[in-house]
Amino acid sequence: MNLGSVLKQQGKLDEAVECYQAAAKRFPSEAGPLRWLAGVLSQKGQFTQAAEVCRRALQLEPNNAELWVALGNADLAQTNYDGAADSYRKALQMDPASASLHSNLGMVLGLQGQPEAARQEMAGALRLKPDFSAALQQVIWLKSRRMN
The domain limits of the chain are 1-95, 105-148
Burial class (CB in 10 A: 0-12, 13-18, 19+), 26: exposed
Give the predicted TM-score (pTM) of the model.
Answer: 0.89
Cβ-based neighbour number of residue 73 at 10 Å: 21
Over residues 33-56, the pLDDT tens digits come to 999 999 999 999 999 999 999 999
Judge: domain 1-95, CATH 1.25.40.10: yes
Question: How far is CA 147 from its chain centroid?
Answer: 29
Please state the rounded mean pLDDT for residues 66-78. 97
pLDDT value of residue 102: 94
